[in-house]
Amino acid sequence: MNPTVRDFLLFTILVVCSKCDNFENELGHITPQADAQTQQQAVLDLINRTIPLRSAEFSVEIQSNLTRQGKDTFAIKEQSGIVHITASSGVAAATGFQYYLKYYCNAHISWEASQLNLPDVLPHVDVEITFNDRFRYYQNVCTASYSFVWWDWNQWEKHIDWMALNSFNLVLAFNGQEAIWEKVYKKLNLTEDDINEHFTGPAFLSWLRMGNIRGWGGPLSKAWHDRSIYLQKRILQRMRSLGIITVLPAFAGHLPRAFKRIYPSVNMTKMARWNDFNDTYCCPYFLDPTEDLFQVIGKMFLDEQTAEFGTDHVYNCDSFNEVDPSTGDLTYLSNVGKSIYSAMTATDPDAIWLMQGWLFYYSDFWTTTERVKSFITSIPLGKMIILDLQSEEFPQYDRLEQYFGQPYIWCMLHDFGGTLGMFGSANKVNENVIKARQEADSTMIGTGLSPEGINQNYVIYDFMTESAWRNEPANLTEWFASYTIRRYGRSDDYIIKAWQILKDSVYNFNGIEKIRGRYAITNTPSLKQNTWTWYEYSDLFDAWDLFIEAADNLGSNPAFLHDLVDITRQVLQVNGDIYYNKLITSFKTKNKDEFQDVATIFMNIFTDLELILSTNKDFLLGPWIESAKACGNDTEEKELYEYNARNQITLWGPLGEIINYANKQWSGVVSHYFQPRWQIFIQNMNSSLETDTKFNESSVRRQMFTEVEEPFTFDKSTFPTEPTGNTVELAKEIHSRWHLSKSSRRSERASGEYVEDVYYFKHYFKENPSIILLN
C-alpha cells in the first residue's frame, strides 16, 4: 500500500474511532508503574503467602510487552514439575496463578475460607489467556465504610492478594484522604473546630466524601489520621508492586460550612438534605465548579495528596452522587464538567477522571439524556471512565448511547449496605456482560465488582469475576457443579444437587426489584411490611435438606460450614417472612389462639437464628465491635468507634435516619436487637388483642426506639469474637425443628399456600416446651 494512503487510513482510524483501538491513545499511559522485577517478586511473595509449602514449584516472569491492544495476557506452562507463569503484569501473573489453582487443581480461594489441597504432582498445563478488556475494576465508594473501615494491615494484605488473584487492576485506595484534607483546610485558615464539626466518624466517611452528611459520629483524631496514612502508604505500595493501578480521590466540590465565613463572596450552596439527616449533620457546602476557587482548592488537594501518596493518574470524583446540580442548563453542565476536569489536569496533565454512573440511574434530573451528554462529553473522549454501577440490574449504557463515546466499565453491584441474604442474577451476568461488549460501537473497556459491602454470596462474585476472561456464556449447570467441587474439595452428589437448586432459585433472579436485605426479621416491626421473593420457598427448603444430607461428608470443610450456616440462616429468614404474614393475619382477624401459636413460632425463629450464627466466626457481632475499638488510641476514642460500629448497622443516624439499611444477620445483633424489638411489638399486639384496644403503631415504634434500638447503640457489653457450638449438630437440630414434611410441602406447592405447617409446629413446640424461649 502506498505510504500516504496507509498513513491517511491510520490517521482516520485513530481520529474517527478512538475506541476501535481500545482508547490506546487516551488510556495507553494507564499502566503499572512498578518495574518487571518488582512485580515478579510481589507475585512470588503472594504465591508463597497462598501456598507456602508448594511455592517453590512455581516460577513467575513479567514481560510488559505481552499485552495485546493494551489488554493483559498470561501464559502458564508446566515443565519438569515447575509451573511457569509468564504475564504482562503482576496482576495478570497472579490471575494466571489462581486460574491454574482453580481449573487445574480444583482449589478455591474466597473471602471466608479457602480450599488449597493441591495434588501431589502438579497437573500439566499449557495455556495462554488474553483478558477481554483493558480493566478489571473493584470497589464501590461505600465499601470502605461498610466492609473495610476497621481493617488492620493483615486484613488488607489478605484482601489485596485476593484482588490480584482475581485480576483486579483498577482499584480505589481511599484511606488517608481526610488527613490530606485536614492539611488543606488548615492552610486555608479553618480552625480545629471548623474541621471537627465537618469530619464524620470512621464508619460514615463514605457519605462525608460524597457530601451527603457531615459531623455524624465524628470527629477524627490525630491518631486516626496517622493510622490511616500509615495504612494507605502500605496499601498503595503493595497494590502498585503487584501492578494494580490505584485510584485516588480528587476534589468534587464539597466543603465544610466554615468556608462560607472565610469566603463570604464566593458562590456556594448548601447541599440538599440527604435521607432525613437534620441540619446539624447534613448539608455541607457545595462550591460551584465554575468558581475560580474550585480550581485553587482542587489543585491544593491534589498537590498535597500527590506529595504524600504519589499517583497512578486515575482520580475518582463524584460531585452529584444522590444530589442534583442546581440547574439543567446544558452550557452550565458542560462548564461544570470542564472545571472539575481542569482542576485535575492543573496538577496532573495525564489525569483520567473515573466517575460512578449511579447518578444517571438514581436521579430524574438525568432522565434528560442531553444533560448527561453535555456533562460527560465536556471531557475529551477517553479521558473519563464511567462506572456503569449496577449493570446487572439497571444498565445505563444503552439508554445513554454508549455514554456518547466515553469509555465505561460493566459493574456488578449486587449488594447494598453489606446486608446478608442469598440472592444473585447468575443468568443475567452470564449473558449480559458478553452482549454489552459485542454491541455495535461498544465503549465498554472493562468489567468490575462494585458492591457496597462484601462478605455475602461469594458464589456470584466468583462467577462475575470470570467475565474478565470468559468470552462465551458458561454452562451454568456445569459451572455450579464445579464450583462445589472446588469450594468443598471433593465431589458430593447431595451438595451438587443442592447448588443446582440454588442456581435455579435464589441465584436465578431475573427481575429488576431493588433488593436491599430487608426481610420481616430485619425490618423494623410493623403491621405493613411487604414480604416478597422471586423463588419458591420449597426450593430453598429442598436445597437445605440436601445440605443436611451432605453434612457428614463435608462437615470438616470450613467453606461448607460457612455455607451451612448461611443456608440455615436463609431458611430461618424465609420462615420469618412466612410467619410474619400469618402473625398479621391472625392479629387482624382477631384469632387469639392462632396468634398465640404463630407468635411462639415466630419468636423461636430468632432463637434458632442466634444459635446457628453463633457457631461461625463470619456471622458474629463481636469481631466488628472489637476491631472498631482496636482502632481507638484511648478510651474515649474506643467508645466513639464502638458507637460508630453499632450505629451504622442499626439506626444509621441519631434517630434512625436510614434505619436497617446496613443491617447484619449476625449473632449478637439477632439476640440484642432484632429479637427484642419484635418481642416488644408482639407483646403490644397481644395486649391489644387481649384487651380489645386499638393498636397504636407509632407509640410502639417509639417504645422500640427507646427500649431497644437506641440503647443498643450506646451499650458497651462485649460479644464473643470466637464461635461457640458445633455447626453441623446445631444445623441438624434446627433442621429437625423446621423442615416441613414432604407431604405438607406438596400441598403448599399445589395450593400456593402452606396448609399444614402451623399445625405441625403447634404440636412440635407444644411437645418440646424446653425450646420455647419467648422471654
Ligand X SMILES: *[C@@H]1O[C@H](CO)[C@@H](O)[C@H](O)[C@H]1NC(C)=O
The three three-digit cell numbers of residue 174, written as one number: 481511599
Nearer to ligand X (CB atom), residue 293 or residue 381: 293
36 and 422 Cβ atoms separated by less than 8 Å: no
β-strands 245-249, 170-172: how paired?
parallel
Quick check: 63 binds ligand X (CB under 6 A)? yes
Span of 73-81, 697-705, 720-728, 752-760 interacting with ligand X by CB under 6 A: 697-705
Q: Give the per-residue contact string, 615-654, with ligand X (x = CB under 6 A; - = no).
A: ------------------xx-------------------x
Binding mask 19-58 for ligand X (x = CB under 6 A): -------------------------x---x---x--xx--
Q: How far is the CB of 58 from ligand X (least distance, A)?
A: 8
**Owner of C-alpha cell 506529595:** 307
Going by C-alpha positions, the residue among 400, 367, 374, 365 that lies closest to residue 386 is: 400
Q: Give the length of the chain.
A: 775
Beta bridge partners of 385: 354
Which residues have C-beta within 8 Å of that of residue 457, sequence separation ≥ 6? 414, 415, 422, 423, 424
Which three cell numbers, joined as nine digits, stand for 626? Answer: 472489637
Residue whose Cβ sits closest to ligand X: 699
Q: Which stretch binds ligand X (CB under 6 A): 74-82, 273-281, 444-452, 709-717?
A: 273-281
Per DSSP, the three-state class of 477 is helix
How many Cβ atoms sit within 10 Å of the Cβ of residue 441? Answer: 10
Q: How far is the CB of 660 from ligand X (least distance, A)?
A: 18
Where does this chain touch ligand X (CB under 6 A) — which range of 253-261, 274-282, 409-417, 622-630?
Answer: 274-282
Q: Which three cell numbers stand for residue 611?
A: 444459635
Q: Which is nearer to ligand X, 442 or 703 (CB)?
A: 703
- Looking at the Cβ atoms of 287 and 412, the one nearer to ligand X is 287
The span from the CA of 678 to the CA of 432, in Å, is 41
Question: For ligand X, how many residues bind (rule: CB under 6 A)?
Answer: 39
Residues 214-253 vs ligand X: string with x where CB under 6 A?
A: -------xxx--x---------------------------
Which region, judged by CB under 6 A, interacts with ligand X, from 68-76, 426-434, 679-687, 710-718?
Answer: 679-687
Contact 519, 577 (CB under 8 A): yes
| Residue with smaller CB distance to ligand X, 285 or 309 | 285
d(CA 354, CA 336) in angstroms, rounded, equals: 15
Residue (112 or 318) nearer to ligand X, CB:
318
3-state SS record for 694-736 = CCCHHHHHHHHHHHHHHHHHHCCCCCCCCCCCCHHHHHHHHHH
Between 56 and 307, CB nearer to ligand X: 56
Measure Cα distances from 306 to 144, 310, 435 in Å. 21, 4, 39
Select the residue interacting with ligand X from 25, 79, 327, 556 (CB under 6 A). Answer: 327
* Residue 271 and residue 284 in contact, taking contact as beta carbons nearer than 8 Å: yes
- Chain positions 428 to 487 lying near ligand X, rule: CB under 6 A, are 475, 477-478
CB of 44 to ligand X, least distance (A): 6
Q: CB of residue 216 vs ligand X: minimum separation in angstroms?
A: 9
Q: In what order do the strands lie in the sheet with 82-87?
A: 58-62, 82-87, 73-79, 126-130
Q: What minimum distance in Å lies between the beta carbon of 243 and ligand X?
A: 15
Phi, psi (rounded to 5 degrees) for 347: -95, -40
Task: Report helix, strand or coil for 247.
Answer: strand
Which of positions 526-565 make contact with ligand X (CB under 6 A)?
A: none
Binding site for ligand X (CB under 6 A): 44, 48, 52, 55-56, 63, 65, 188-189, 221-223, 226, 262, 267, 269, 278-280, 288, 326-327, 475, 477-478, 596, 599, 633-634, 654-655, 682-683, 686, 690, 696, 698-699, 702
